[in-house]
Amino acid sequence: MKLSPYPVIRLRPKGQARTVRHGFPWVYDNELVTDRRTRKLTPGSIAILEDGERQPMALVAVNPESRIMARVLDRDCGAVIGADWLRARIERAQALRARLYDAPYYRLVHAEADGLPGVVIDRFGDTAVIQPNAAWAELLLEELAEALVDVTGVRNVLKNAGGRARALEGLDDASAVLRGDMPGAPVDVPMNGAIYKADLEGGQKTGLFYDQRPNHAFGARLAKGARVLDVFSHVGGFSLAALAEGATSALAVDGSAPALALAEAGACASGVEASFATRRGDAFDVLGELAQEGARFDLVICDPPAFAPSKKALEAGLRAYERVARMAAPLVAEGGFLGLCSCSHAVDLQKFRTASLRGIGRAGREGALIHTGFAGPDHPLHPHLAESGYLKALFFRL
């Protein structure tokens, strides 16, 4: 019998063996036998996970410093986690995106749902941005970058080390250029008939939010001949798509001057700058000011940051979503449309819908829910991880 090169960790006798066998990809620290040897494993080490009866279950990545102490990498305990394994996973992810999109602008790897736990990769033409949000990926980052170049042919590979997830894994916040060069200017990203500007060095997350693409498209279908208000606009996600589809005007509201500058550059690149305007300020303040001015729009869309990034923040987050709906609804013209979005994984669809309807009602408006949207197919949902289905978008006719 060939000995495995990997150490062994074991579930407690009453650990979640059935849950893991049925597909759940995480094992928490309180579910494992955590002796001194296990605690001394280097964060990111590969190990064999055994059940309480010492039967091998899966290869896992171990991080004794994380609440998620083990992440399932492969159900085949004989697999070798290395360059060839990484290449096969990226090839599989690439094959799906090639079926879905005509141009190489998308999320290439969506963590657990693409078989690479904690790893996010967004592609921007010949540049790819990796967020290695788990310790195992940090240890294999060179091999990951090499496999990415081999499979996709990208020239530039960047590491983005921002975000809360890396801190939870005990990882640094040092971004880097892994292959090629950092693009010297914002990258043009064609989506939904518009050109967006992605700042891959200083922008939020990897530089652009691909997840909203289908919701931008649906909003744009409502925008023909319409006056559009895009609140929490970032780089103009909803407003630029709306103008590309024939909106008569769009006002983008955001608290970030750099984001609005990118939105303006995108409007120019899209040839719609004459119909596009921006307003910098706190979104709630601007919503109040617009109401006092008597402003009305045919389509109002609010896409705020995560108001409930954790379960502890759930109630406060729901109140914030209700407040958004209550302040945005009066700005919608009779018969117009209101789009409300949430990227909080702690807020499920029912709770978000309830908070939104409560806000609309408290504004003295009523309406029908005409569409519920989610993230695009380049953000596949892991069926056992509610966190991977974080994005919700509700469209109402008021």
Q: Which positions are annotated as active-site residues? A: 343
Report how far residue 46's alpha carbon sits from residue 7's, in angstroms, rounded to the nearest whole number. 7
**Nearest to residue 251, comparing CAs of 260, 385, 53?**
260
Buried b (16+ CB within 10 A) or exposed e, 266-300: bbebbebeebbebbeeebeebbeebeeeebbbbbb
Q: How far is CA 231 from CA 68, 197, 238, 304, 305, in A?
A: 35, 18, 9, 8, 11
CB 212 within 8 A of CB 303: yes
Alpha helix segments (H runs only) across the chain: 17-21, 36-39, 83-100, 135-139, 141-152, 164-168, 213-221, 237-244, 257-270, 283-292, 314-328, 349-362
What residues contact 319, with CB distance under 8 A and at least 6 apart?
A: 355
3-state secondary structure of 230: strand
**Bridge partners of residue 156, in order along the sequence:** 127
CB 333 within 8 A of CB 389: no
Consecutive H or E run containing 339: strand 332-342
Report how far residue 9's alpha carbon sits from residue 38's, in angstroms, rounded to the nearest whole number. 7
Report how far residue 83's alpha carbon sits from residue 389's, in angstroms, rounded to the nearest whole number. 29
Strands 249-254 and 227-231: parallel
Q: Which two tokens stand for residue 356?
A: 């939104």
Q: Find the helix packing angle between 213-221 and 237-244, rounded to 10°.
A: 50
